[in-house]
Amino acid sequence: MSGNVNREYFDKYMVPCYSPAPFIPVKAAGSRVWDQQGKEYIDLAGGIAVNSLGHSNPVLAQALKDQIDKLWHMANGFTNEPVLTLAQKLVNATFADKVFFCNSGAEANEAALKLARKYARDRFGADKSEIIAFKNAFHGRTLFTVTVGGQPKYSADFAPLPQDITHLPYNDLNAVAAQISDRTCAVIVEPVIGEGGVLPADPAFLQGLRELCDKHNATLIFDEVQTGAGRLGTLYAYQHYGVVPDLLTSAKGLGGGFPIGAMLAKEAWAQVFQPGTHGTTFGGNPLAATVANSVLDQLDETLLGGVAERHQLIVARLEALNAQHGLFTAIRGKGLLIGAELAEPLRGKAKTLTNLAAEEGLIALIAGPDVLRFAPALNIPLEDIEEAFVRLERAVVRILG
């Protein structure tokens, strides 16, 4: 890559739907990242919960290198060994009977929502089409998924939008009970709302959704794009909560940095997608499936068991910062998906704080204007967490003046 490439290229050549940081990362290993100038950063963002096993994981890299010399792509008129192995692993490890592979979380959710509508139509008729979703949720950027997501700021500019979608307050089972009916074809829910502020579901809320869906023959969809692949300390969040959905969507951490998405389905739902009803060109290609197989192989009891220890350390450091500086009104989350809601006078300044943190050598996320979000690698070294919060405190001191 040319050494002359700089951040100005983005403004000159790229569609401006992002506002990337002023520095350009060029190398990374584990939870450390280096930019063009050689400056080092500690990564507590994990590519928004994507780099589940850290950057340049050597086991993933070797698996990919081995597959590169074998088979890259054949499209879905054929199958391949890595994707069949991956499907078997996911079925054996979860409630699912079948798996559909795609390239992203949005595509996985699109598939699940389409499948839920078709399942209801085939079994109960065209009038059973309502989808219940939740305010502040995020399910992707396709027109269907961005409409189902409960944040109008992402969908309002693209009207007319898909119809028969109802948004209710999250964690409000009474609101769902009052709305759901035999017209409802599906309820889609994030076990922990990510983009909308890092809000964990109450266990009784998810259990109640399961019971209401059973009562009204509605499909229960868990969007685990952000909570899956070990993020909460179990392979998927439904296992943490003990509530089994009918469909589950996965992406992000499943590929450890390589693009892949998956929809996990019970048998009766899977059979609705017969040849010609849905598809994708790149989904389940051998390279992506190979990397995801290697990710699953590394998500063993030891690694997943370490998630709780890292959660406790991050929360302890946030609480210490709060005690010293009075920064937060709430610290919440599960596993390694953690949010800290800013108090006055920092309300609305989450992005400003993460920008200062980057100047101090720390990469962190936001979840809206008021919440810091942390989603580091599941295997981030404890010493990296300690050093990250030294750097975060320097940013805090700067923003407080």
Q: Which domains are assigned to the chain? A: 8-52+301-400 (3.90.1150.10), 59-298 (3.40.640.10)
Beta bridge partner(s), residue 341? 330, 371
Residue identified by tokens 């990374």 is 28
Q: Give the C-alpha separation, 140 to 125, whole Å.
A: 27
Give the per-residue pLDDT at 4.
Answer: 85
Q: Is 176 exposed, middle or buried (0-12, 13-18, 19+ CB in 10 A)?
A: buried
- Candidates 19, 4, 72; CA nearest to 288 is 72
Residue 391 above 60 pLDDT? yes
Q: Give per-residue pLDDT as tens, 37-60.
A: 999 999 999 999 999 999 999 999
Q: How far apart are CA 108 and CA 263, in angstroms?
A: 5
pTM of this prediction exceeds 0.95:
yes
**Mean pLDDT taken over the chain:** 96
Q: Are 308 and 335 in contact (CB under 8 A)?
A: yes
- Residue 75 confidence (pLDDT): 87
pLDDT at 401: 85
Per the annotation, where are the binding residues for pyridoxal 5'-phosphate? 105-106, 138, 223-226, 281
DSSP-assigned states of every residue in 47-94: HHHT-TT-BT-HHHHHHHHHHHTT-----TTS--HHHHHHHHHHHHHS
- Which long-range contacts link 151-157 to residues 24+ away (Cβ below 8 Å)? 151/195, 151/196
Please compute the mean of the pLDDT values over residues 147-163 and round it to a whole number.
93
- Per-residue pLDDT band at 1 (split at 50, 70, 90): low
Residues at the annotated binding site for N(2)-acetyl-L-ornithine?
141, 280
pLDDT digits (tens, 9 = 90+) for 260-297: 999 999 999 999 999 999 999 999 999 999 999 999 99
Residues 101-122 have a mean pLDDT of 98
The tally of CA atoms less than 13 A away on the side-chain side of residue 312 is 6
- The residue behind tokens 């500690």 is 42
pLDDT tens-place string over residues 326-342: 999 999 999 999 999 99
Q: pLDDT tens digit string along 15-41? A: 999 999 999 999 999 999 999 999 999
Task: Record the tokens describing residue 164, joined without a space.
Answer: 């028969």
Question: Which of 308-345 are b and which e, b meaning 16 or more Cβ less than 10 Å from the residue's Cβ?
Answer: eebbeebbebbeebbeeeebbebbbbbbbbbbbbbeee
Contacts of 283 (CB under 8 A, 6+ apart): 76, 100, 101, 102, 103, 107, 261
**Closest by Cα among 100, 111, 116, 148 to 213:** 116
pLDDT of residue 3: 64
Annotated binding site: 105-106, 138, 141, 223-226, 280-281
For the chain, what is the radius of gyration of the CA atoms?
Answer: 21
